[in-house]
Every structure is written in structure tokens, then in C-alpha cells.
Amino acid sequence: MKKTIEVKNLSVHYYGDIALENVSFSMNEGNIIGVVGPNGAGKSTLMKALLGLVKFDGEVSIFGQRVNELRKNIAYVPQRSTIDWDFPILVEDAVLMGRYMHIPWYKKTAKKDREKAEKALEQVGMESFRKKQIGELSGGQQQRVFIARALAQDADLFFLDEPFVGIDVNSEEIIVNLLKQLREQGKTIFVIHHDLSKVETYFDELLMLNQRLIGAGPVKEIFNPQILKQAYGGNAAVISSDKEMVVVGP
């Protein structure tokens, strides 16, 4: 299997405070990778560093290249809470924005771009909302529109920051099924996630973080009480898929 993401000695500081310290790992292509760890563990910071959105020390290579050389090939869905949902834009135009990095600034969107955006809207079951303002949608519908925007980009790597927060069960199911379809097509999906009860069903590989890397590898190897305790201290209680109760800490 080919490596998608390779990270060596990655550190990030914000005004002198350490957010990530000496993180090294590599991840295989064609997997759904979960990034978990307590609040403030540096999960979003890691994603932003991989995307070249924050300054870092160390080395990051994606498909053997630097991120600036393959930006078109990475689709990013930021946390819903960081998006201005009052911004006046129609659903169909928000999705079409996923095509912009493929279109030179001096050209208009072509029929092919509009078709890709339309297909992406259909894939998330939002085609009948195309003329609505994004602010009129529910949380789950908004998230599906942003997933459609990422799909329209035709990327090989998808970065999603907490995609399931504040959304309905139906939207979550649609998104999870889509991510699995993308994996079948050989895409790599990198997901920040905080609900430990879903880890075993959603992810193939896991990165466990708490400022430094606690564990990285297949979920079966990483998702265990010892590693969870190192990441969460006494604050995690997990029910594993075989219904055996695993309680970590007091």
C-alpha cells in the first residue's frame, strides 16, 4: 500500500505555547483515518499544519510532495462552527466553489463544472435545495452541502474537521456511507472526531493525540484502554463494539 501522509518531527507553537510536539507518523492510501484526542489536544492544529495553514517545524509530505504543490488534490471541510452561515450564497453556488481551483481566474465556470457540482449535490441528497440560501438549512443539511463542495473538487485526499458535530442521524449516515464509497474509489479520508463510541465502526486507522502522538496505526491496535488512558487520563469511558465495557480511569 502506498503512503499518503508522511509527517516527521512536526511541532507547532502559538505565540510560544506548544500545541503539537515532535509528532511523526505515516498513513496508508485508501483509508478512513480518525484523529482523536481530548479537547485542546492539537487535532485541528495538526490538520491545519498538514494543509499548510499554520507555521510548523518539521517535515510534511503528502503523496511524496509538499502541500503547496498539490492543493487542488486536497479537499478540506472545516468545522461548521468556523463557517459564516449568514454569508449570502445559494447552495448550488457554494458547491460550485469546489470547482474554482480547477478554473483559471480569467474563465467562467464551464458546463462540465456545473455538472460535477450537480452530481455532488445528488450524492449527498441535497439536489432539491439547490436554490436555497445556505443559512436556511439545518446543521446536517449544511454539512452535506460542504461535503458536496469537497466532492465537486475531485480530490484524492479529504480532510474533515469534526464533520458529525451538531448534525442529525440521517445526515451522519449519508456522510458516513459517502466516505466509505470514497474509500472504495481509493481516496484517503482524514477525519477529526471526538465520539469514541463510533471509532471502531467508522475508521480503519487511528491517530491518538494529546499534544504529542500517543498512538498511530490500525484501529484494532491503537484503540485500547492503555493508549486511551495515556491520551485522556481518567476522563474517558468507552463501550466497545462487542459490548464489553472498557472504563478508563476512575
Binding site for ligand ADP (CB under 6 A): 14, 19, 37, 39-45
Closer by beta carbon to ligand ADP, 79 or else 109: 79
* b (16+ CB within 10 A) / e for 223-247: beeebbeebbeeebebeeeeeeeee
| Exposed/middle/buried for residue 133 (C-beta within 10 Å: 0-12, 13-18, 19+) | middle
Cα 13 from Cα 213, distance rounded (Å): 15
Nearest distance, CB of residue 242 and ligand ADP, angstroms: 28
- How near is the Cβ of 46 to ligand ADP at its closest, in Å? 7
User: What minimum distance in Å lies between the beta carbon of 25 and ligand ADP?
Assistant: 16
Q: Which is nearer to ligand ADP, 34 or 42 (CB)?
A: 42
- What CA–CA distance (Å, rounded) separates 176 from 202? 7
Distance of closest approach, residue 75 Cβ to ligand ADP, in angstroms:
19
Q: Which is nearer to ligand ADP, 40 or 218 (CB)?
A: 40
Closer CB to ligand ADP, 18 or 247, in the complex: 18
